[in-house]
Structure 1
Amino acid sequence: MMGLLPWFALVIVGIAAMQWGAAQVADVLETACTRWKLPATATGALMGVATAGPEISVNVASVSFGWPDLGLGAALGSNVPALPLAILLSYLSSRLRPGASPEEPAPQVKPQAVQVQALPYLGVVVLLAALTLPPPISGLQWIDGVVVLVAFALYFGRALLRTPSRRRDRVPSGLVKPIFLGVPAIGLGAVASTMGAQKVGARLGIPDIVTGLFIIGFLCALPESYSAWRFTRNDKPTVAVAAVMSDGIASLTLALLPLAFVGTGVGNMAIYMLNLGFLAAALVLYAASNHRDRGQKLGLGLVLPLCGGYCAYLVATVLILMKAT
């Protein structure tokens, strides 16, 4: 076990570097969005692309090293816990805010988040299932990459085109440096975390897709979901949820392009189907509980079923792995 520690430390260092780099880029975009007076849903779309940088870089690294299943697992593993964690942290952020009273209403997400983010996210999950699950065409091929790229372009364009025309302030200078520092940090962190995770998984006898799910993917999801705490504390719950969903859309489209263009099979079909099924169920629950006029209240009525569903997902994953062995 001692031999695993250096490799696991490499994973932690790599993920920390990726998240630091993504935070630098996200901060620049948040400043630009504020100056440009973009609505919360458009801001979330741009922020989500920035925070999906680690998953995209991990997939490039995993393909380069010949471990595509690792990248596929990382893309799914960062998606599955992200929404339940973000909703939970948004709720806790409002309840643990200094001076908050028990009667204070739960954070409220604007209703257009469902049309702009949740339904396109659900559409991407269904599209991915249709492209990769049927036996004759299972797995990712280059044509699937083209399809998901078009799907992302349609989503992203729609999110930005909904932006009303307003007088926009000039973006301050000095924002280029964080991007020049952040992007290399994401790339180097992806190489380090991918190498370290594969070594840990190989020594423990864990399939690459499971290693990606619960080592790289889950650890990537933690800081991304934690940003929901910060946004909600700043009275931006719509940005918090929109950023998580946009990150998920980018992770299941842009991040899968390297895997699609080299041709990647699904290593463990049961695990893969479980992940897509959970994502679809979580998004259906979110959309169904949205009020057309008032939006979505991030209260216990949403927190408990999402977090309970995630616990059930973990149990199902363990049972599938036990059956496989």
Structure 2
Amino acid sequence: MNVWLWIGVLILAAWAAHWGADQLLTPLKMLRKQWGLTASAGAAFLAIVTASPEVAINITSAARGVSDIGLGNLLGSNIISIPLMVTIAYFASRKKFKNNKEHQKHLDANLLALNKRSVAVLSIPYLVIIALVAILTLPKAWRGLQPIDGWIMLAAYAAFLTHAIIKGREKGENVEWDKKKVWLSVAGAMAIALGAFFIVKATENIVSVLNISEIVGGLFITGIMTTAPEIFKTWSVVKGGEVTAGTTSVIADNAVTMTIAFFPLALVTTPIEDFQLFWVNLAFVGLMPLLYSLFVHQSKELHGFSKCQIFVFDAAYIVYLLTMVFFVLKLF
């Protein structure tokens, strides 16, 4: 198969994996209502499913002996996701919502509305997770992803989820379970597994044809493709009036990627072959939620991101690309 056919397989597999995640999301949304979780706490809970394609990809890459694809996917998706989803959410929120005076205030001030609680519930704990990954993987004596690191990161996600639920618990609702949706969830789980296999298989073949390293393929092929379908979900959720949920879910997804998706790569022991590439990417993984936290903290009465701050997110990603092209990969 030539490279264009594998690109087609990659796109179809990515959509299949995210379709599967959408089907699995329904029962978890019902549990969120039943347990009375707020938007921020619910995002942390629902991320178990919304980030499942990334987790499945890393399980597949570890099983197939191409862990560098999974490592690149882990880093690449976490770098692009925040600037991309925040930008999409900003444009999707530029409309009036009926009977929502608070949103109208944000619209008049040209801000992307955001609940300040999301910093304490999601972004600061996510920064702690990134710092923990750095401590476990960067020192020379501990360099690389090892089984003990994986168990530590699983414990870190358990703490992250527990913290989010405790911080964001309200009175629950009665919900009715639909058998059809439950069966669709089963089909969704199968689609995620199948999609993940073909995403990894397609990436293997594309990097082979293009003669690039597996980790670079994971960064710029797998990582971007697994994030792309989230554009439409974020747009839809925010356009529907759930601005905070649509904007904060990306933080929760990234926390799952850096912990649960970290586990299979650590379990098979993934060495860091290119240390400069790894630490530069990890630095930008940390920069994005740091900007997120600082900007929300700076907001006064109306919490959220200004147009200028949205531009800074996008500019940070452009700086990342330039750093990779000219200083890390040295393509020019």
TM-score range, shorter chain: over 0.9
Matched residue, 2:51: 52
Matched residue, 2:133: 128
Matched residue, 1:180: 186
Matched residue, 2:235: 229
**C-alpha contact 2:23 2:188 (8 A) present in aligned 1:** yes
Q: In 2, distance between residues paired with 1:206 and 1:105? A: 43
Distance change in 2, residues 1:324/1:159 (3 Å) = same
The reply to whether residue 288 of structure 1 matches residue 294 of structure 2 is yes
Matched residue, 1:301: 308
State the Cα distance separating 1:105 from its structure 2 match: 4.5
Pick the aligned partner of 1:211 from 203, 217, 225.
217
* Structure 2 unaligned spans of 5+: none
Pick the aligned partner of 2:248 from 242, 245, 261.
242
Q: In 2, distance between residues paired with 1:275 and 1:114? A: 23
**C-alpha contact 1:152 1:253 (8 A) present in aligned 2:** yes
- Counting only pairs closer than 5 Å after superposition, residues 257-296 of structure 1 correspond to structure 2 as 257-291=263-297, 294=301, 296=303
State the Cα distance separating 1:322 from its structure 2 match: 4.0
**C-alpha contact 1:36 1:169 (8 A) present in aligned 2:** no
- Counting only pairs closer than 5 Å after superposition, residues 103-142 of structure 1 correspond to structure 2 as 103=108, 105-142=110-147
Q: In 1, distance between residues paired with 2:303 and 2:184? A: 34
Distance change in 2, residues 1:320/1:178 (3 Å) = farther
Q: In 2, distance between residues paired with 1:57 and 1:114? A: 28
Distance change in 2, residues 1:142/1:20 (3 Å) = same
**C-alpha contact 1:90 1:229 (8 A) present in aligned 2:** yes
The reply to whether residue 27 of structure 1 matches residue 26 of structure 2 is yes
* Structure 1 unaligned spans of 5+: none
SS state at 1:264 partner: coil
Q: In 1, distance between residues paired with 2:172 and 2:62? A: 44
Q: In 1, distance between residues paired with 2:303 and 2:285? A: 18
- Deviates further, 96-105 or 111-120: 96-105
What's the % identity of the aligned pairs? Answer: 29
Matched letter for residue 160 of structure 1: I
State the Cα distance separating 1:9 from its structure 2 match: 1.6
- Deviates further, 313-322 or 199-208: 313-322
State the Cα distance separating 1:85 from its structure 2 match: 0.8
**C-alpha contact 1:97 1:233 (8 A) present in aligned 2:** no
Q: Deviations over 1:283-319 (max 9, x none)?
A: 2221112248747413213201000010110111111
Q: In 1, distance between residues paired with 2:318 and 2:95? A: 24
The reply to whether residue 154 of structure 1 matches residue 159 of structure 2 is yes
State the Cα distance separating 1:69 from its structure 2 match: 0.4
**C-alpha contact 2:207 2:214 (8 A) present in aligned 1:** yes
**Aligned Cα RMSD in Å?**
2.3
Matched letter for residue 274 of structure 1: V
Q: In 2, distance between residues paired with 1:8 and 1:122? A: 34
Q: In 2, distance between residues paired with 1:230 and 1:206? A: 35
Q: In 1, distance between residues paired with 2:212 and 2:171? A: 53
The reply to whether residue 92 of structure 1 matches residue 99 of structure 2 is no
TM-score by length of 1: 0.92
Q: In 2, distance between residues paired with 1:270 and 1:133? A: 10
- Counting only pairs closer than 5 Å after superposition, residues 5-44 of structure 1 correspond to structure 2 as 5-44=4-43
SS state at 1:107 partner: strand
Matched letter for residue 117 of structure 1: L
Q: Deviations over 1:240-267 (max 9, x none)?
A: 2321111101001100111111100123
How many residues align? The count is 324
State the Cα distance separating 1:97 from its structure 2 match: 6.5
Q: Deviations over 1:223-246 (max 9, x none)?
A: 224422222212222212321111
**C-alpha contact 1:286 1:302 (8 A) present in aligned 2:** no
**C-alpha contact 2:33 2:173 (8 A) present in aligned 1:** no
State the Cα distance separating 1:321 from its structure 2 match: 4.8
Q: Deviations over 1:5-32 (max 9, x none)?
A: 2222221121111111111112332344
Matched letter for residue 201 of structure 1: V
